[in-house]
Amino acid sequence: MSPRDQEQTRRRVIEATIELLTREGRDAVTTRAVAVAAGLQPPAIYRLFGDKEGLLEAVAEHGFATFLAGKNLDPGPHGPVDDLEAGWDLAVEFGLANPALYVLMYADPARPASPAFTAGMEVLMGRIRRLAAAGWLRVDEHLAAAIIHATARGAVLTWLSLPEDRRDPALLTTLREAMLTAVTTREPATQEAGPAGAARALRAALPEQTALSEGERGLLEEWLDRLTHE
Amino acid sequence: MSPRDQEQTRRRVIEATIELLTREGRDAVTTRAVAVAAGLQPPAIYRLFGDKEGLLEAVAEHGFATFLAGKNLDPGPHGPVDDLEAGWDLAVEFGLANPALYVLMYADPARPASPAFTAGMEVLMGRIRRLAAAGWLRVDEHLAAAIIHATARGAVLTWLSLPEDRRDPALLTTLREAMLTAVTTREPATQEAGPAGAARALRAALPEQTALSEGERGLLEEWLDRLTHE
DNA sequence: AGAGGACTGGTAACGTCGATACATGTCACC
DNA sequence: GGTGACATGTATCGACGTTACCAGTCCTCT
């Protein structure tokens, strides 16, 4: 079997698994059931994915990639805050649209970070960085990522655990709003983009702080001037 | 065997299961392993708990009840808002103190609401009601419950999924604060902007600039970190 | 062109799981 | 002291994840 064919078979197995997962639930995903659904023998799964864990990881990655493929990830016209908002919505929408897959990826914290998990974080981190560069970030970048992740995770899992007739869309919008106020500032710390603007803003706010020694502050001011006039 | 003895045996089995769960993980909890740990035969589990699901449910309930037993649930002297805050802390503390148990109870949203789950919600609902009675509630009671639950759930699961050396306690306090401002009409504790925002903006924009040498940039990054973490 | 060998794919099986049927033992009561 | 009901122990079932093993096929080298 050529690598080309093998890739195609992998794809067929993955899609059969997703079908099984979404139609009959997590417990229906057995190696045997997947094998017959994909039209091959149980051991073939192991030749293709190593073990069941490998299969599930491949499934998560495929599902997430497929979802992202239909979305536009470029920065929007309304600034980094709106981009963050859209990114949060994207994460939640993925969970609501693929509950079984989402639970597989995000329910058990013991599961080591899969490529799919990491890919989602990459998207998020890019938006956070732009937010920080524009001076909108209220907290540390890593903390921001954790907050965004936690609110989205909590939103999706709680939403899914509610009976359908008691799901209030306000849960999602309120959590999103809470996330935004926790992570971003209402007023940007700098009006100008790039290092020069940030340096100017920092230069202005500098005299009030005490984290640096006299000498350090002097050198820092020199550097900020250089960055400003670059 | 008298009902009294049976109750005692149930208790022994449950505690053996918790021991197994926390020491060797979820997958180590097999009916056989539990049976030998509790000193009886595998079928005895089924006579006591019906099936494995029943055992796990009993375990969840026992673990949660034991945790709550050591806590004071009465209204505190600082008003309903502080009570809510303490309730949220309680939920999160339970998750951090009993990760395996928490994951068992809250990870999979497909699992129907267990008695333990409901008991936790009861505690929460009481506090929300007092909050509403005192006029502090910004949103519908059910929505408030969902928001509180979602933030706590997201906080615990995200915390547990982070490697230990990257867990920032600020994640918990920030999420708690976000929950409080979303749910109550209390004024958010506005933190002074200071130079932190500008420092973060400069930190994010730093890689793009060329006015500083490698060494200067390294030192500058250290200072910016100090300025943001002050 | 034919023999040898590496590699793919199929079959059968292992050990363990959750769960259950059945036999064995034990105690109360007539 | 026999008898019936109930608790306990034994043996086993089907299904699971996983692996050893064997047959067939295709490429290579002489």
- A15-19, A30-34, A38-42, A209-213: the lowest-pLDDT one: A209-213
Coil, strand or helix: which one is A185? coil
pLDDT of residue B200: 74
Please state the rounded mean pLDDT for residues A13-29. 95
Decide if B198 contacts A218 (C-beta within 8 A): no
- Which site among B202, B214, B223, B225 would you substitute to test the A interface, given the most A Cβ atoms closer than 10 Å to its Cβ? B202
Chain A residues in contact with B178 (beta carbon < 8 A): 147, 151, 178-179, 181-182
Residue A204 has pLDDT above 60, yes or no: yes
What topology is assigned to B67-228 in CATH?
Tetracycline Repressor; domain 2 (1.10.357)
Decide if B129 contacts B140 (C-beta within 8 A): no
pLDDT of residue B189: 64
DSSP letter (8 states) at residue B190: P
Which of A38, A22, A28, A26 minimizes the C-alpha distance to A98?
A22
Which of B154, B146, B199 minimizes the C-alpha distance to A169?
B146
B185 touches strand C (CB under 7 A): no
Q: Is the whole-model pTM more than 0.85?
A: yes
CB-contacted nucleotides of strand D (7 Å): 7-12, 15-20
| The residue type at A227 | L
Residue A198: band (very low, low, confident or very high) from pLDDT cuts 50, 70, 90: low
Can you give the distance from the CA of residue A44 to the C1' of nucleotide C7 in angstroms?
14
Can you give the distance from the CA of residue A43 to the C1' of nucleotide C6 in angstroms?
20
A182:B168 CB<8 A: no
Please state the rounded mean pLDDT for residues A13-21. 96
pLDDT of residue A214: 74
Residues 34-63 of B with CB under 7 A from strand C: 42-43, 46, 51-53
Q: Tell me which CATH homologous superfamily contains domain A3-50.
A: Homeodomain-like (1.10.10.60)
Residue A192: band (very low, low, confident or very high) from pLDDT cuts 50, 70, 90: low
Residue A200: band (very low, low, confident or very high) from pLDDT cuts 50, 70, 90: low
Residue A86 has pLDDT above 90, yes or no: yes
DSSP letter (8 states) at residue B28: G
A24 touches strand D (CB under 7 A): no
Q: Which residue positions in chain B have pLDDT lower than 50?
A: none
- Which site among B101, B161, B165 would you substitute to test the A interface, given the most A Cβ atoms closer than 10 Å to its Cβ? B161
pLDDT, tens digit, for every residue of B29-56? 999 999 999 999 999 999 999 999 999 9
pLDDT of residue A185: 86
Residue A152 has pLDDT above 80, yes or no: yes
Residue B134 to residue B80: CA distance in whole angstroms: 8
B30 touches strand D (CB under 7 A): no
Residue A5 has pLDDT above 90, yes or no: no
Please state the rounded mean pLDDT for residues A61-90. 94
Q: How is residue B67 written in tokens?
A: 């945790």
Residue A172 has pLDDT above 60, yes or no: yes
* Domains of chain B by residue range: 3-50, 67-228
Higher pLDDT, A181 or A191: A181
Residue A205 has pLDDT above 80, yes or no: no
- How distant is the Cα of B116 from the closest Cα of chain A, in angstroms? 15
Largest Cα–Cα separation, chain A? 73
CB atoms within 10 A of CB A30: 13
Can you give the distance from the CA of residue B6 to the C1' of nucleotide C25 in angstroms?
19
Q: Residue B75: left if φ>0, alpha if ψ -120 to 50, beta else—which one?
A: beta
Q: How is residue B62 written in tokens?
A: 């026992």
CB atoms within 10 A of CB A29: 21
| The residue type at B192 | E
Residues 30-69 of A with CB under 7 A from strand C: 40-44, 47
pLDDT of residue B6: 76
B202:A204 CB<8 A: no
B44 touches strand D (CB under 7 A): yes
Residue A174 to residue A200: CA distance in whole angstroms: 35
A202:B201 CB<8 A: yes
Residues whose CB falls within 8 Å of the CB of residue A184, separated by 6 or more in sequence, listed in order: A81, A84, A131, A136, A137, A138
- A187-191, A211-215, A217-221, B118-122: the lowest-pLDDT one: A187-191
With distances taken from each CA to the C1' atom of nucleotide C10, the closest residue turns out to be A41
Look at chain A and count its residues. Answer: 230
Mean of pLDDT over chain A: 88
Instruction: Say what percent of chain A tops pLDDT 70.
Output: 86
- Across A136-169, b (16+ Cβ under 10 Å) vs e yields bbbbbbebbbbbbbbbbbbbbbbbbbbeeeebbe
CA of A229: which chain B residue's CA is closest?
Answer: B211
CA angle (B172 as vertex; B118, A91 as ends), nearest 5: 80
B32 touches strand C (CB under 7 A): yes
